[in-house]
Amino acid sequence: MTGKAAIYALSRAAGGAGQATAARPNPFGATEAVTIPCRGAECAGLDVFTACAARVKHHLDDATGRAVYLIGRAYHPTVPDDFLPQWCAQTLDADPSAFRSLLGAFVLVIDDRRSKWVTFVTDPLGLLPWFVGSSGGRLVAGSDVLGICDAGLSSGEVDVDSVASWLCYSFVAAGGSVVRDYRRLPGGTISTFERDGRLGSETRYATLKYVQNVVRPEELIEGLYERVSAAFERMVRGVNEINVPLSGGYDSRLVCALAAAHGGLKVNATVVESTPAEVLLAKQVAAALGLPLRVMPVGARVVDLFDDPLDFIAEGFPVPRNLTNAVARLYPGMPLLSGFMGDAVMRGPIKMTARAFLAQDDNGLDEDALARAAHARFLIGTNKLNLLRHPVRSRAADRAMGCLLPIIRQGRDAGRPLAYANLQLRHRLYFSTIFLSHLDVADALTPYTSWQLVEYNASHLGSFGPDTYDHLFRRFFPALAPIPHSSQVPKPEAKVNGKPRPPRHLRRWGCELLRGMPGGWTDTAIAPRKLLKHLPGALLLRSRRPDDIGYLHRIYAFEQRLARANVGLDWSVV
């Protein structure tokens, strides 16, 4: 979580009782302290700062001296929301495996004021990014690494493996961040730290195992529907109105159907006019469900929806903004219901290439071969590495594949290394940049991220096919069954006078690159000849490859942002 959703925690410096109760300066811009005040001799060992106080629930347990902070959004099937911090504190001692019953993206922070330990509990999938490190002998943690760097609490040494992973995949594969001294905590873990930042213990409470278990389609869809509808019902409890981005895909179609059938929700369904076919399918779905549909025009390209089309993810890297982000901004503050991770848990792959990728789990490949297969699958074609200097692009792939190996090994333990990597990296990390980038504007309701649903998928290996949704719609929402999937429909480019229309940012990108490069040719990853080749077309709005200029500008924006955060980036070591 970044921007208006950012949250940080900073341990207090060692000192006597008088020093411990003194007011602590806030090093994080645009945030406020929500630290639970000291009581008697038990003083806070951790200060908590947030850009949005509504995203933090807290509780002080007088019996144990623990200050409990619940960050993000968590939902329990039966426990009331206001009592969740107390329930979490009790569960930590009684039965940590019960954390698997929680829905949502959250981190639990416990400042034990008697033992002077700090404990972090991440949600089962690790959906809410949480980074931990230290500075000046003090524990530092937060949801936004660049915010920590801006506060002067990082050494500023860049993590070259994370840079390589971002260059190739647009996500950070091995739990790192843009700097070496802050690492992302894994999902489903209980991690305890001393106040100086030293790790004391780390325990997994949620581990995944893949089990071959083929059942009849009728039985499968009953189990799927039971779990996803239960997660949906719990997440919308107490909600009166929701925002639903509706595409031509199956995942958004099902959650929209659940919302329409609920009866107590006002449903604001929106389709972004990315292609005529996408709009047509969304209109068919809305009509079948009896819902009004808002059509959001795009213009020439998706990037034209945004004044600033780049979003810096929690690890500190820029990625393009997306359609879900745009739809969230239509209704600020209204919870957004999305199909995030539906592809991973509700059906088998539709495309032959995806089926062939996952089938390699049965080929007896060694770790290096599996990493190469995952690299080929996760590589983002629109990341134009050929536009970068040769030493950077030639080494990035090797470094990035090295980042995949820890996940491949975890996947071996789970029983399906590529299926596990696909879930943990492609769906949990890459697609989160699409579906969870709007938390500064609106909460995300993501019923497909239920751990019970993820476990159900893993425990029924061999049962899922590309037609699972067809069976489900025929059983529960027959009016939706005849409507095709968007993957069957071509997506032509918008054109003017027979040529693709350039994005509205093209000239600005070119001007910023032109102004920024002359003084720093030796410090950039951008290949000068490649830039000079593309600049005239950008400045004259006649570029044949505007996406290339957009990618070069993304690299430039990354370099500039790191310079402002005092992060030293030496491309020669990447």
**Predicted confidence (pLDDT) per residue in 394-406, tens digit:** 899 999 999 999 9
Strand order across the beta sheet in which 293-296 lies: 293-296, 266-272, 241-245, 336-337, 444-445
Pairing of strands 183-184, 199-204: unpaired
Pairing of strands 241-245, 266-272: parallel
pLDDT, position 4: 64
Overall average pLDDT of the 174-201 stretch: 96
Higher pLDDT, 247 or 222: 222
Neighbours of 225 (CB within 10 A): 17
pLDDT, position 165: 97
DSSP letter for 228, please: H
Dist CA 151 CA 236 (whole Å): 37
Pairing of strands 189-194, 266-272: unpaired
Task: Name residue, tokens 């002998």.
Answer: 137
Residues 6+ apart with CB under 8 A from 301: 494, 501, 503
Q: Taking a C-beta distance cutoff of 8 angstroms, is the pair 322, 302 a contact?
A: yes
Convert 435-466 to b/e letters by CB count within 10 Å (16 or more is b).
bbbbbbbbbbbbbbbbbbbbbbbbebbebbbb
pLDDT, position 499: 67
- Over 50: is that where the pLDDT of 19 sits? no
- Over 70: is that where the pLDDT of 310 sits? yes
Give the model confidence (pLDDT) of 442-470 as tens digits. Answer: 999 999 999 999 999 999 999 999 999 99
Strand order across the beta sheet in which 66-72 lies: 56-61, 66-72, 106-112, 117-122, 189-194, 199-204
Give the model confidence (pLDDT) of 112-164 as tens digits. Answer: 999 999 999 999 999 999 999 999 999 999 999 999 999 999 999 999 999 99
Share of the chain above pLDDT 90, in %: 79
Residues 6+ apart with CB under 8 A from 52: 4, 5
Neighbours of 60 (CB within 10 A): 20
Structure tokens at 458: 């893993």
pLDDT, position 493: 54
Q: Taking a C-beta distance cutoff of 8 angstroms, is the pair 170, 432 a contact?
A: no
Residue 573: pLDDT band with limits 50, 70, 90: confident
Residues 6+ apart with CB under 8 A from 261: 477
- Over 50: is that where the pLDDT of 412 sits? yes
Q: Taking a C-beta distance cutoff of 8 angstroms, is the pair 168, 378 a contact?
A: yes
Domain 3-204 in CATH 3.60.20.10: yes
Residue 14: pLDDT band with limits 50, 70, 90: low
Cα 232 from chain centroid (whole Å): 19
pLDDT, position 123: 97
- Over 50: is that where the pLDDT of 496 sits? no
Q: Is-same-fold flag (3-204; 217-341+431-481)?
A: no
3-class state of residue 444 by DSSP: strand
Structure tokens at 224: 């799927």
Comparing CA positions, the residue from 249, 271, 276 lying closest to residue 490 is 276
Q: Which of 51-60, 196-205, 413-422 has the lowest average pLDDT? A: 51-60
Convert 522-559 to b/e letters by CB count within 10 Å (16 or more is b).
eebbbbeebbeebbebbbeeebeebbbbbbbbbbbbbb
Cα dihedral: 97, 239, 70, 5 (round 10): 130
- Tally the C-alpha atoms within 13 A of residue 326's C-alpha that lie toward its C-beta: 24
Domain extents for the chain?
3-204, 217-341+431-481, 352-424, 496-573
Overall average pLDDT of the 416-439 stretch: 93
Q: At what angle do helices 217-235 and 468-476 cross, to 10 degrees?
A: 70
pLDDT, position 18: 43
Structure tokens at 363: 């080929």
pLDDT, position 16: 45
Q: Which amino acid is at 556?
A: Y
- Over 80: is that where the pLDDT of 40 sits? no
Q: What is the DSSP string of 506-566?
A: HHHHHHHHHHHSTT-GGG-SB-HHHHHHHHHHHHTT--S-HHHHHHHHHHHHHHHHHHHTT
Residue 1: pLDDT band with limits 50, 70, 90: low
Overall average pLDDT of the 316-330 stretch: 93
Burial of 43 (0-12, 13-18, 19+ CB in 10 A): middle
Structure tokens at 101: 């019953």
Q: Taking a C-beta distance cutoff of 8 angstroms, is the pair 487, 281 a contact?
A: no
Task: State pTM to two decimals.
Answer: 0.94
3-class state of residue 66 by DSSP: strand
Positive or negative, the CA dihedral 195, 197, 198, 199 is: positive
Q: The CATH number of 217-341+431-481 is which of 2.60.120.1360, 3.40.50.360, 3.30.70.2700, 3.40.50.620? A: 3.40.50.620
Q: Taking a C-beta distance cutoff of 8 angstroms, is the pair 493, 256 a contact?
A: no
- Over 60: is that where the pLDDT of 63 sits? yes
